[in-house]
Structures are given as C-alpha cells and as structure tokens.
Chains A and B, each alone.
Chain A
Amino acid sequence: MEDTPTGAGLQSDEDHLDDEEPAFVDPNEAVEVEVDEDAPMEEDEDDEDVDAVHEETRKNVIDMSRFKIEAHTGPVYGVSCHFDAASQKMTIVTGGGDDRAFLHKIHGAVPATLPMDHNHTDSVSAVALNLDYVSEDLTQTPKLAAVGAYDGGTIQECLSLFARA
C-alpha cells in the first residue's frame, strides 16, 4: 500500500465542507473481504434493532477507509496492529463478539484474512502482538500474537460456608 495516495481526511474540518476535490478514497478502491461464511451466527437479539436504527446513518456516512474487512459476524472488540517497514507488511489481529479471532495481512492492494483457529465459546476481547519487542534472535524472542477470550474458567460449583464472626 506504499506510495498510494490516500487523499483521505487531510483537510481540516472547515476545508472539508467546501473542498472541491473529493476528499475520500474512491469507493471502487474499497475491498470487501468475506471470510468463512459458514461461521455460526450468534444469537444477538439486539442486532435487528441496531441495524434498523443505523440504516439511515449508514447511507450518510462517507467511507474514507482504505480497507474494510468484514470477517467478523458480530461486534469487534479488540485490535492490535504492527507495520514492518522493511517488508512494508502490516499485521492486524482482531477479536470479537462472534467468539472468533482473525489475523489480517496487508501487503499491497488486497488484505488477506486468516481465521485464528480455536473454538472459543465466548467473546474474544483481548488481542496483543509482541512484534514491537522481539529481537533479531527469534529463538530467544519468538514473534507472537496473543488472544484472550471470555470463555476461560467456568465456575461449576460454588459452596459457601458461613463462619461465625
């Protein structure tokens, strides 16, 4: 994506209103990525309401993003990214309310999205990359992406014994 003129959002707010040049990315440049359509839909009872409310908003919002990635089927809660200047590659890890985590690689015009294989049973809320901290010696400091979910420990049984004060 290097050397790609973006034009997006360069103006101050006032400029933005009456600028004659289009100040956003050409919609034709936007790339939509569909990943794993078999992913189970979550029972998210608010979804329809939210969609209805935002239908109007959706029409009016100008999409200035360079890439839109629609891998998740629910709200997306966490993101961590890293850009490697040498290779000009960007790594993004995301987790969401669809109980899934994805790895996204951006190098050039089309983002590649990989599902991060695991059957989480609850939301993925925490994601982290250690790429800012790794040294040259990858045997000592391997490159890692961490994903934390809400599923973890599930309390099976709880006994309370009330002691006398």
Chain B
Amino acid sequence: MEVRFKNAYHFLRGHENVRLDLLVLSTLHLTLIYVSSSTAILLYDPDTGAKLHSFEGPTDVEWAAFHPKGGTVLLVGSAADNTVWMFHIPSKKCLQVFVGHEASVTCGDFSPDGRWALSASSDGSLRVWAPRKGICKHIFHFHNVGEDPAGLTCMATNGGSDGQLVVVGAEDGQAHICHIGTKKVVASVRHSELNSTTSSAMEDDEAEGAAISVEAVGFAPCNPNWFATGGVDGVLKIWDLANGAQCRQTCRASDINEGITRLLWHSQLPLCFTASTSGVIRLWDARNGTLLSTLTGHIDTINDLSICYADEGSKALIASVSDDKTIRLFELDISAALKAAQVA
C-alpha cells in the first residue's frame, strides 16, 4: 500500500502504542489516517535464530541499517509512508521518526562517524538528519528550479579522505557526490544518456523510463577519491574525484543485454563486484577495466549481494540472492584471479 502526499507535514505521536495514529496535514487538504501498526521489525540472535524483540514500525520496510558505534541503534526506511524510523534496541524504544520525504525512502544509512542519519528518496532528495533532535539538518536537491526531480535509487557513504562524502544514484542516469559537513554537492556525473536505444528498451521491459537509471553506487575503500556507478544499461563506470570527477574506466560485459543491480568494492583492493539482472556476478579491476572473474549459477535477477572476506582479503565469500528463489554462496580466490589476469 502506498500513500504519497506532496508538501505534507506529518505529526507522529504515540508510536509505541499498538494503535498508531498518523496525522497528515498538507497545504491543500487535511487528511487523517488511522494506522493499525502490526509488527514490521524483528530482532533476532544471529547465533541461535531466537527472536529477541519486535518493533512496530512503518509499513513497507525497504531497508535497515545498524549504527556503526556498537550496533545497538537501528535505522529503517519505508517505501510506503516516506518515513525513516530509528530504534534503540537495548531499551526497546523508538527514538525518532524522521518525517519530510515526499516519496518512498529508497535507501539510507548512518554516516560512518555515526553523527548523522542519511536517507535518499524517490522524491529526488538526500536528507541529513540529526539523530538526537530528530530534525532534518540539510536537504540536498539535485534538480533545477522548474524541473521535475529524478528519483534517487541508491546511496553509499564513506567517501573522501574524511569519510564525509555520500554518493547517490538517480533515475535520470546521473550520480551526485555530496559532502555532509560542508553541505555542498561536490560533483554530479552522468553515467548514461538518453539515446535511441532507450526507447526500444522501454518496449520490452517493464522498467520504463528507467532504462538509463543508475542502480548501484559505491566508494572504493582503497582510494577515497574513487567511486563507481552501475546502471540499468549494464555498464560499470569508475570515476576519480581527484581528477575533476572524470570517468576513469567503463566496464561492460560484451554482447549481454542486462542491467546492474548491485555493486560492491573489495574491502582493500581496487576491485569492484557487480551483480546483474541476468544472474551473473562479475569482478572488475578498476585500474584498467579488466573483467577478472565471471561467476554464474543464478538463472534470474540478483536482488542483493553481500560479501565477506577471509584470509586477509585474499578470499571473497560472496552471498547472493535472486528472483530464482535461491541463495548462493560463491568463493573466489582474489589473488589467483589477479594472477590469472596478469598472465593473460
């Protein structure tokens, strides 16, 4: 169920009660919504699987992220009521409900220093929230006056030498880099252009109008000035902020019509993993755009990817989940993949 109110101010009270009353006031009309909140957020012991606690939360929880200091505060965003909620798990309390986005909150996280909560939305804005006060500290907009904003689809933190850069990807094929501290948009880059192939892609795909959308972004842990964008166009691009945010590499798997759904950098090396709508995971060398590895197994879109490293980063343990109903775990020997590329 989806509710959208332009220019709405929401007042939320009594969210610890079983029954949640949500009052929405807009400039045009007054709307009163009674929300019966069943449980939406569950906490478990990851060792035993035992249920520890449940929170009433917003409907359509789209993402969840723990606070980096101790991991006892949880931030979740809603695709339906445009809110972001923050819970303190030991005290079993909802600390804040951040209200202000005017469309689905597609992604969010805490800043790496834990000082801010960040959320990006289909309304085209990136918001910086003060967790204690619950107020919106800054709103980044990326469209000119008079233009319709392009929805934001993805976000990543921890860029730049101070870790204060955030990158967001947008449905119009752009990505924007923002500095949380200075509240400045440091750079905007265009990952993909509208072109003639877009119209044909629109016919055979339900993702109309999103054929140029940037779907995945990320900063390289090995180099704070590098970031990557991955798009519905199936292309991975590597950018360098130190060089005027120029595109360093364009990585594309040949002859394959697919989109990138996720990208993740290696924890230490200038390597980037991508997951695709065709079910393939690839590893790219960001320095030269070489395809190092292709991991197959899934037969449908990969929806999410999570990677851990063993043996000091030389072995990647890649967990992927797909529309094909399976969870797959791949093991990849990074050193061997790099060596094989050198020999070739």
Chain A residue numbers with a CB within 8 Å of B293 are 9-12
Chain B residue numbers with a CB within 8 Å of A165 are 27-28
Chain A residue numbers with a CB within 8 Å of B291 are 12-13
CB distance from A143 to the nearest CB of B (A): 5
User: CA–CA, A155 to B38, complex, Å?
Assistant: 10
Are B70 and A135 in touch, CB under 8 angstroms? yes
CB distance from B271 to the nearest CB of A (A): 13
**A52 close to B (CB within 8 Å):** no
* Majority DSSP secondary structure for residues of B touching A: strand
Are B321 and A94 in touch, CB under 8 angstroms? yes
User: CA–CA, A71 to B325, complex, Å?
Assistant: 8
Known: A61-B297, A61-B299. A103 touches B30 (CB 8 A): no
Are B74 and A11 in touch, CB under 8 angstroms? no
Chain B residue numbers with a CB within 8 Å of A152 are 37-41, 56-61, 78
Known: A134-B70, A153-B58. A92 touches B33 (CB 8 A): no
Question: Which of B38, B69, B306 is A151 in contact with, Cβ under 8 Å?
Answer: B38
User: CA–CA, A106 to B306, complex, Å?
Assistant: 15
Known: A155-B3, A155-B35. A78 touches B303 (CB 8 A): yes
Are B20 and A153 in touch, CB under 8 angstroms? yes
Chain B residue numbers with a CB within 8 Å of A4 are 331
Chain A residue numbers with a CB within 8 Å of B34 are 155-158
* Among listed B45-53, B162-170, B217-225, interface-contacting one: B45-53
Question: Which of A96, A153, A156 is B321 in contact with, Cβ under 8 Å?
Answer: A96
**B207 close to A (CB within 8 Å):** no
CB distance from B248 to the nearest CB of A (A): 20
Are A78 and B304 in touch, CB under 8 angstroms? yes
CB distance from A99 to the nearest CB of B (A): 12
**B308 close to A (CB within 8 Å):** yes
Chain B residue numbers with a CB within 8 Å of A83 are 308-310, 317
Known: A153-B59, A154-B36. A114 touches B70 (CB 8 A): no
Are B296 and A103 in touch, CB under 8 angstroms? no
Are B330 and A125 in touch, CB under 8 angstroms? no
User: CA–CA, A93 to B66, complex, Å?
Assistant: 14
CB distance from B187 to the nearest CB of A (A): 28
Are A148 and B41 in touch, CB under 8 angstroms? yes
Question: Which of A71, A114, A115, A158 is B327 in contact with, Cβ under 8 Å?
Answer: A71
User: CA–CA, A91 to B45, complex, Å?
Assistant: 11
Question: Which of B28, B35, B43, B294 is A146 in contact with, Cβ under 8 Å?
Answer: B43
Q: Chain A 128-148 against B: per-residue CB contact (8 Å), 1 yes, 0 no? A: 111111110000111111111
Can you list 9 A-B contacts with CB-CB less than 8 angstroms, sorted by A residue number? A9-B330, A10-B333, A12-B292, A54-B300, A72-B327, A104-B327, A152-B61, A158-B34, A159-B31
Are A2 and B310 in touch, CB under 8 angstroms? yes
Are B279 and A11 in touch, CB under 8 angstroms? no
Question: Which of A114, A140, A150 is B59 in contact with, Cβ under 8 Å?
Answer: A150
Give chain B's interface residue range (CB within 8 Å of chain A).
35 or more
Chain A residue numbers with a CB within 8 Å of B79 are 125, 150
Known: A121-B38, A154-B1. A148 touches B57 (CB 8 A): yes
User: CA–CA, A145 to B308, complex, Å?
Assistant: 16
**B29 close to A (CB within 8 Å):** yes
Q: Chain B 159-191 against A: per-residue CB contact (8 Å), 1 yes, 0 no? A: 000000000000000000000000000000000
Q: Chain B 305-343 against A: per-residue CB contact (8 Å), 1 yes, 0 no? A: 111111000000101111111111111110011001100
CB distance from B148 to the nearest CB of A (A): 23
**Residue with the greatest number of chain B CB neighbours at <10 A, chosen from A72, A90, A142:** A142
Chain A residue numbers with a CB within 8 Å of B145 are none
**A36 close to B (CB within 8 Å):** no
Chain A residue numbers with a CB within 8 Å of B337 are 9-12
Using CB atoms, name the residue of chain B closest to A4: B331
Chain A residue numbers with a CB within 8 Å of B32 are 158-161
Chain B residue numbers with a CB within 8 Å of A71 are 327
Residues from 63 to 89 in A contacting B, C-beta threshold 8 Å: 63-83, 85, 88
CB distance from A47 to the nearest CB of B (A): 9
CB distance from B262 to the nearest CB of A (A): 10
Question: Which of A16, A54, A141, A154 is B70 in contact with, Cβ under 8 Å?
Answer: A141
**B67 close to A (CB within 8 Å):** yes
Chain B residue numbers with a CB within 8 Å of A118 are 39, 42, 51, 54
Question: Which of A65, A133, A153 is B40 in contact with, Cβ under 8 Å?
Answer: A153
CB distance from B228 to the nearest CB of A (A): 19
**B242 close to A (CB within 8 Å):** no
Are A146 and B42 in touch, CB under 8 angstroms? yes
